[in-house]
A and B are shown apart, each in its own frame.
Chain A
Amino acid sequence: MTILAMATMVSCEDELNQAPENSLTTDNFFNTVADFRLGLDGMYAQLLTDDDVAGIGDTYYGAVSLSGLPDILSDNVILVQSGRQSNRNNFEFNYTALNNIGPFNEAYEIINLSNIIVERIDNLQAGADRDDILGQALAMRAFAHFDMARLYAQIPTQDPGANGTLGVPYLKFEDGDTGDPFATPTRDTVGENYDDIVADLLQARGLIAEDNGSGRFNRNAVNAFLSRVYLYMGQWQNSIDAGNLVTTSLASIDNYPAVFTDESTDGVIMLADQDPALDNVTVGVLWSQTASGNVISEYALDFEFFSAISDDDVRKGVLSVIGTNNDEMHNAINKVGIDRNGVVDVKLFRTAEVFLNRAEAQFELNNEPAALATLNQLRAVRYSANAPDGETGAALETAIQFERRVELAFESHRFFDIKRRGESIQRSNFGDLSDGTGTPASVSSLPAGDFRFQIPFPIAEINNNPNFMQNPGY
């Protein structure tokens, strides 16, 4: 009996070889075009992912981080006292390295996956598919690095010395930066970051397909992205040239409201898209929640900003509606799916931005007539009547920035636009209620040059990576 038992048990040793039921290893995958395309979609999905496994609260465009911060850290909104007061810390510029406010981890997950694709691209035969896949991987690698650089580091045009300050680690398989989970990279400079971004985008532009379906980079998106990057770098002509290659037309005045309810894609170049039921990522939940007929606003549109927008401007109604919470009325944020718990696609690139980039670049090149003409092309499809016209000089510059603020509010721009232009954040003294009364912002300004324009890296990164330098002031 013992011998029988022993014999049985010796064969048990084979049972020690177990394999996961749900998964394959990276090295056994990425062999076919279909495999690689799944990997590309894995990168895009990361933009909205909200898998808060270890309590790491950062999401990328899914909720707070890049969907909310650029407006909360600016003059577009005011904290509503009767809301849940979430993000108050950020609104009052009171973040520290302990508040992990940026999407540092999520962005580097995209970068990691893009490098996995770049590393294995030779598993595919040369051809259009391989080119397009590599192009998309490079574009996304640039995209994630760009977001990190503009959030955590200075922007080249922000300060004359900006290019020499520390940026973020730009990780490329080609440079041997990947493959070691225990790696502890150092920060590159801002100048190096933007050069790498441009290099990846220029390479991507030569490879990528013209159309890749919704939710993915294509040639138009790469060009729109380049026009933005060059604007951030102060390379005005390059920005204009890249923008000129974009073939998507502006959204019409009739279609404009439907763009933000996801019923139209007029003038949209690239989305982070989702299935409202299956993914159900509440991109706009940080602005307000609606329940039992009450709109519980967390932030309302700043009253001064609201008042400055013409009633003939189609964007005014898109930006805000009156939200009533019990007896209180607020200029509630309408643009990000107020009627659907904030479950909307994220607009990453729209043609309107390309026009505004162009107008600004033309102005910087002292070509005021061209700048005004570009701006008027946009105004023509935004104002139903009485569109402003004819500005020159400083008034024109102000007009370009005002149209940009109105057009791109709640699309991850305002904070970066103030920041890259080296301006101060100055909030109005109006209160949180719909008529401008109520409680005003308790912190009303952030002066140009303040260290808080560069958000802190998570303390964990500083502790886990001895080579990583924290931003000054934290």
Chain B
Amino acid sequence: MLFLMGIFFSFAQQNSVSGTITDFENLPLPGVNILVKGTTTGTQSDFDGNYVIAANEGDILVFSYLGQKTVEITVGNSNTIDVRMEEDAEALEEVVVIGYGTKTRDELTSAVSTVQAEDIASFVATTSIDNILQGQAAGVQVTAANGRPGNTGFVRVRGVGTFNQNSTPLYVVDGVPVDPTNVNQINPNDIQNVSILKDAATASRYGSRAANGVVLITTKQGRKGDAQVTLTQTVGFTQRIQDNFDIFDIEGKLEYERQLAELGVAPALTLPGATATGEDRQFLIDNAVDHEEELLRKGFIQTTNLSLSGGTEKLSYFFSAGYSEDTGIVQRAQPFRRYTARLNTTYQAKDWLTIGVNANFARSSEQRLREGRNNVQNPFVAPYQYNPYNTIFVLDDNGDFLLDEEGDRIFSQSFPLAFNVAEAIINNLDLRTNLQSIATGYADIKFSENFSNKFQIGISNDRFNRQDIIRPFSRLDAFIRTPGAPGQSTRNGSNDFEYNVSNVFAFDKSFGKSKVNASLLFEYNENVLDLFSLTGEGFPTDQLDVISITSLPTDTSSDRVRNTLFSQGLFADYNYDDRYIVSASVRRDGSSRFGPSNRFGYFGSGAVAWNIHNEDFLKDGFFDALKLRASYGTSGNQNFGGIVANSFNSFTFLELLDFGAGNGRSNVSPAGAANPEIKWEAQEVLDIGLEYAFWKNRVRGVVDYFQRTSNDLLSPFNLSGTVGDENNQVTANIGEVRNTGLEFELSVDAVQTQNVRWTLGGNILFIDNEVIELVNGIDQFRGSGGTNRLALREGEEVNSYNLVRYAGVNSQTGAPQYFDAEGNITETFRASDAVVLSGKSPNANIEGGFFSNFSYKGFSLGTNFSFRFGNYIYNSAAQALLQDGNGVNQQQRTDALNFWRNPGDTNVLPSPLFRNEANQISDRFLQKGDFIRLRNLTLGYSLPATFVDKLPIQGLRVFVQGQNLWTFRPHFDGDPEIGNGSTEQGGFQTSGSQSLFNYPNVQTYSFGIEVNF
């Protein structure tokens, strides 16, 4: 049918002109806009540079393409017009989005990394923008928080500079600040480019919130011409990344139990390995379960995207709609789903007035699992804890499933299945939805050639709803039920509303070779967060689980937090002949989060750049670009308190009371210690950079040296427990931390011929971080539960591990040995022997990525690696699986058998007879997290024009893609790409510091097709 239509169309287009468009090197140029002048008839060249357009003799065709000189050709009597376009040196300059404006690369005095839509295209199957940034820009480190569908990763720009919210940068989408956790609601297909502001020269423009860098996301706009329709569909599957260790199979586990029982290890004596023989043992073997197969699955993913864009002389539009689904890898769980829609329009209302609106809506839904728990409520703990002989379902004496009255299998509930996660996933539901809208509207007024003004209002609203259901017949309910009130339901949610009003008044003028521009900014930002939670118990029926039918309301709460930020700024640039550029900024921020005496903060920057390539002595020389730049400036941080703001953590400067109730009576108690002295965290950044390009721009690169010093660091300050604060902490300005680094970016167009193109490149960051100063020089320890496993100490890396050192096994007795604080060997484990381990922290010393993009005619092959070296991770998962006999009643690793047996044994685990002394948290399980990971591999094929021409479409591309296909991890047991270890972190509070059975990262295999109309 399609084929027939194709014939029909080609038959119908009698008066059509076709041809091939090439660039100055005679390489086919796709994506060139072709317009019949004076009409709305237009098209684009395909991947091979071919085009077809309906035009009659005498029409004028306009060929335009970013970076090329626009060509106009009058149609003659030939139906073929081939065009060779020429570079437009001026237009080629990339426009870089920076704070409150744009600049060309030449004009820039700052370290700004950009990621363009073309770079993003190969990541279409990923659902989140932060994944896209990984390995793409020097100094930008992205770690998946975990593998949960739809989750956001941790993005860090140039190391750990602050301590809150995992050092997340400020995200600004089309000029509106957006909460980092909501960035994943933006459809990656809608993104035109991303700018990452890394140094003070540009980040300072965002003042008090820019200390962790700024990520500016700009979404797509329509281009002049006929409507372009793009339809993309991908499908694929995901699976857990395989471990590099083995756990016991049934026979191995029984043997392990037998051996420990033989040694006399008490908990082993009653286990099947010790007691079951003959037929009983065979029964267990015959009915053994592979819990990974029972509890996990291959996930299914699909994304569908449709975009429609175009424009006239005055109006442009970009519309898109998307759907993505990811079932996740847990059996019985409901999928993550996201729907997005966007409409971006601009309209030139008058010669002097341009208005525009960008609007984005996203809705997502998911079933959240208890992936952060460190017990068998977590479906990723269970496969590592359930023994192979613990069946998920109850079996009869023949090994067949026992069935209940309704004919369903019965979930087993014997230890360690006392809590059967398979049943919990069905009957204890945590269902969440988010509805997010981000919208901006602006008016750009040009008063004269020199004066202009841009007024912008942006809103970002995230409505979150959660329903947590513990069904009345579920196992969990049996444990926690209030007598007479079976079942429990919680409905909670929040509405996070942020609006931002800004006005930039700008002045631009050229005097001879000099150009001056200055902008005056006023900005007001207000965030209103509404929270509520309702809990009820007692369902009259098990067919409904809404809270409204419960008999006993047990908990209600609500809160509203308003934070405001009011700013004024002045930014100025002076440019002499595009050779010497000086820029400066100053900004004053006032924040409601600080007490009246410390409310205002001043931030500023100064920067210089020298475009050496524009000097006469280099013109027409070897270098296409050579720029030296330096900047120095300050930015701040006012984010502290919890991830979710509330009245208590938002007003640290006040000593507040907590109104509660007990036994039905109201009561009041202190909400926590206050710190009236709290003030802005200030960060000073020095950056010196060199940008270069040569060999006709085929080699491009950047080198940056930076020093980032955070003063008056805002961080929880540990208090004595005798003070009586709930958390033994108060937020305070605790000291100074410095990150020093060297960043390299390089890309090379190694081969550029008619049919073959090959670009190679990469980036690498060498970074060193150090605590320079702490209040009174006193170490600050971190870690929940008072475990103090991470430390800040002057002269050491941020969050250095503070652990007792393991000294191996006593080869004569099999006892575990430790070093005491003085370094003497002891067999007694004492927490007070913990020492701060110099140079061992979760911070990497080297990180980056490299890529290769190869194409031959219609085929393309892209590979993308990311790597990290020098960080350490406490491997709690390894400890849980090598418990030296303490875990004999649970699943263990096969190498658990490698324990001390005879005097003289070396290179062994401690004897299980010393299981209590051995199973301790020490540096025994502190492992290096080095890895190189093949992040993305994409093989694509674009149909040749000769074939596409026969179809009613303009282009068609198919591709297969794999993500996380291969990982080199020489030291780590498990997956070293760790974001959150666990919410029950056992003292490791910082992301990347611990591995503990969180939702694992997944491998993705997908197939996609992209059609352009």
In the docked arrangement, what's the CA distance between A181 and B726, Å?
A: 12
Give the complex CA separation of A266 and B725 in angstroms.
Answer: 37
Contact between chains at A27 and B655 (CB < 8 Å): yes
A388: interface (CB < 8 Å): no
> Given A183-B722, A442-B266, A20 and B650 touching (CB < 8 A)?
yes
Chain B nearest CB from A324 CB (Å) reads 13
- Establish whether residues B786 and A15, one from each chain, have CB atoms under 8 Å apart when the complex forms: no
Q: Measured between alpha carbons, how far is A85 from B376 in the docked complex, in Å?
A: 14
Q: Does B662 sit at the interface, judged by CB under 8 A?
A: yes
Q: Is the CB of A39 within 8 A of B669?
A: yes
Q: Which residue on chain A has the smallest CB distance to residue B593?
A: A18
Residues of chain B within 8 A of A426, CB atoms compared:
none
> Beta-carbon contacts of B755-790 to A below 8 Å, as 1s and 0s?
000000000000000000000001101011111100
Which of under 10, 10 to 19, 20 to 34, or 35 or more describes the interface residues of B? Answer: 35 or more
B659 in contact with A461 (CB, 8 Å): no
Residues from chain A with a CB closer than 8 A to the CB of B414 are 82, 326
Measured in the bound complex, the distance between the Cα atoms of B555 and A9 in whole Å is 41
Contact mask for chain A residues 13-29; partner B; CB cutoff 8 A; 1 contact, 0 none:
10111111111111101
A26, A55, A97: which contacts B831 (Cβ < 8 A)?
A: A97
Report whether B662 and A279 are in contact in the complex, using a CB–CB cutoff of 8 Å: yes
Give the shortest distance, in Å, between B451 (CB) and chain A (any CB).
Answer: 9
Q: Which of B599, B646, B663, B671 has the most CB of A within 10 A?
A: B663
Q: Quick check: which of A238-246, A252-260, A284-292, A412-420 contacts chain B, the rest being far away? A: A284-292
Known contacts A15-B564, A108-B722, A464-B781; A341 and B537 CB within 8 A of each other:
no
Say if the beta carbon of B921 comes within 8 Å of chain A: yes
Task: Give the number of residue pairs across the A-B interface with Cβ within 8 Å.
Answer: 293
Q: A23-B657, A112-B724, A463-B781 in contact; A9/B522 too (CB < 8 A)?
A: yes
> Is B590 in contact with chain A by the CB < 8 A criterion?
yes
Known: A183-B720, A463-B718. A105 touches B668 (CB 8 A): no
Contact status A29-B668, CB under 8 Å: yes
Cβ < 8 Å to B, chain A residues 428-474: 438-440, 442, 456, 458-466, 468, 470, 474
The majority secondary structure among interface residues of chain B is: mixed
Shortest CB distance B540–A (Å): 16
Q: Which of A5, A44, A462 contacts B662 (CB 8 A)?
A: A44
Bound Cα distance from A108 to B672, whole angstroms: 12
Q: Which B340-357 residues have a C-beta within 8 angstroms of A?
A: none
Q: Contact between B564 and A18 (Cβ–Cβ < 8 Å)?
A: yes
Q: Let me know if B599 and A16 touch, CB within 8 A.
A: yes
- Rounded to whole angstroms, the CA-CA distance of A439 and B522 in the bound complex is 74
Whether A109 contacts B719 by the Cβ 8 Å rule is no
Please, which residues of chain B bring their CB within 8 A of the CB of A290?
A: 478-479
A111 at the interface (CB under 8 A from B): yes
Contact of B654 with A by CB under 8 A: yes
Within 8 A of B (CB), among A171-214: 171, 181-185, 214
List A contacts of B889 (CB < 8 A). 81, 85
Does any Cβ of A come within 8 Å of B713's Cβ?
no
User: Is A307 located at the chain interface by the 8 A CB criterion?
Assistant: no
Determine the chain B residues whose CB is within 8 A of the CB of A113 once the complex forms: 669-670, 724
- For A1, A20, A29, A46, the residue with the greatest tally of chain B CB atoms inside 10 Å of its CB is A20
Q: How far is the CB of B77 from chain A (nearest CB, A)?
A: 55
Binds A, one of B191-199, B577-585, B727-735, B900-908: B727-735
Residue of B267, B647, B724 contacting most chain A CB atoms (<10 Å): B724
Q: Tell me, yes or no, whether A385 is within 8 Å of chain B by CB.
A: no
Given contacts A2-B503, A26-B655, contact A464 B669 (CB under 8 A): no
* Interface core residue of B673, B778, B779, B832 (most chain A CB under 10 Å): B832
Do the beta carbons of B267 and A55 come within 8 Å of each other?
Answer: no
Nearest residue (CB) in A for B596 is: A17
Are A100 and B786 in contact, with the CB atoms below 8 A? yes
Check if B415 sits within 8 Å of A26, measured CB to CB: no
Cα A162 to Cα B712 in complex, Å, equals 45
The interface stretch among B119-127, B224-232, B480-488 is B480-488
Check if B656 sits within 8 Å of A25, measured CB to CB: yes
From DSSP, what is the main secondary structure of chain A's interface residues?
A: loop
Kindly list chain B residues whose C-beta atoms are within 8 Å of the C-beta of A105.
721, 724, 726, 728
Q: Which of B478, B552, B664, B718 contacts A464 (CB 8 A)?
A: B718
B723 within 8 A of A: yes
B66 CB to closest chain A CB (Å) equals: 33
Q: How many Å lie between the Cα of A96 and that of B319 in the bound state?
A: 61
Which residues in B have their C-beta under 8 angstroms from that of A18?
562-564, 592, 651
What is the 8 Å Cβ interface bit string for chain A, positions 245-282, against chain B (1 contact, 0 not)? 00000000000000000000000000001111111101
Q: Is the CB of A232 closer than 8 A to any CB of chain B?
A: no
- Residues of chain B within 8 A of A339, CB atoms compared: 483
Give min CB distance, B977 to chain A, whole Å: 24
Q: How far is A438 from B275 in the complex, measured between Cα atoms in Å? A: 13
Q: In the bound complex, do residue B786 and residue A84 qualify as a contact, i.e. CB atoms below 8 Å apart?
A: no
Question: Within 8 Å of chain B (Cβ to Cβ): is A140?
Answer: no
Whether B655 pairs with A25 at a CB distance below 8 angstroms is: yes
- B722 and A181 contacting across the interface, CB-CB below 8 Å: no
Is residue B466 within 8 Å, beta carbon to beta carbon, of the partner chain? no
Tell me whether A21 and B561 are in contact (CB under 8 A): yes
> Which chain B residues border A92 with CB–CB below 8 Å?
916
B453 at the binding interface (Cβ < 8 Å)? yes
| Contact in complex: A81, B267 (CB < 8 Å) | yes
A13 touches B566 (CB 8 A): yes
Chain A residues numbered 79-138 whose CB sits less than 8 Å from any CB in chain B:
81-85, 89, 92, 94, 96-98, 100, 104-105, 108-113, 116
Contact call A12/B564, Cβ cutoff below 8 A: yes
Q: A106 CB to closest chain B CB, in angstroms?
A: 9
Residues from chain B with Cβ under 8 Å of A169 in the complex? 722
A393 to B445, CA, bound (A): 103
Judged by a CB distance under 8 angstroms, whether B615 is at the interface is: no
Alpha-carbon distance A183/B730, docked complex (angstroms): 13
Give Cα distance in the complex from A338 to B717, angstroms.
42
Q: CA of A196 to CA of B32 in the docked complex: distance in angstroms?
A: 87
B269 within 8 A of A: yes
Asked if B522 and A41 sit within 8 Å, CB to CB, the answer is: no
**Which A residues touch B523, using CB under 8 A?**
9
Q: Is A234 an interface position by the 8 A CB rule?
A: no
Complex interface residues of chain B between 491 and 538 (CB less than 8 A to chain A): 501, 503, 505, 522-524, 526, 537
Asked whether any CB of chain A lies closer than 8 Å to the CB of B278, the reply is: no
Is B984 interfacial (CB 8 A cutoff)? yes
B834 touches A171 (CB 8 A): no
Instruction: Check A308 for interface membership: any CB of B closer than 8 A.
Output: no
| Interface: B869 (CB within 8 A) | no
Check if A56 sits within 8 Å of B785, measured CB to CB. Answer: yes
Q: Which residues of B contact A (CB under 8 A)?
A: 266-267, 269-270, 413-415, 418, 445, 453, 455, 475, 478-483, 485, 501, 503, 505, 522-524, 526, 537, 552, 554-555, 559-564, 566, 568, 590-592, 596, 599, 646-648, 650-651, 654-671, 673-675, 717-730, 778-779, 781, 783-788, 829-832, 834, 889, 916, 920-921, 984-985, 987
Q: A2-B503, A22-B659, A183-B723 are in contact. List 10 more A-B contacts (CB 8 A).
A: A15-B566, A22-B648, A41-B665, A109-B724, A110-B724, A113-B669, A341-B479, A438-B270, A464-B720, A466-B778
Q: Can you list 29 A-B contacts with CB-CB less than 8 angstroms, sorted by A residue number?
A: A1-B455, A5-B455, A5-B522, A15-B564, A16-B592, A18-B563, A20-B561, A20-B656, A22-B648, A23-B651, A42-B669, A43-B669, A53-B726, A54-B784, A97-B830, A100-B786, A108-B723, A109-B669, A116-B670, A181-B675, A214-B663, A290-B479, A291-B478, A291-B479, A326-B414, A459-B786, A460-B718, A464-B719, A470-B832
Return the 5 tightest CB-CB contacts between A and B, nearest first.
Answer: A112-B724, A460-B786, A45-B662, A55-B784, A42-B669
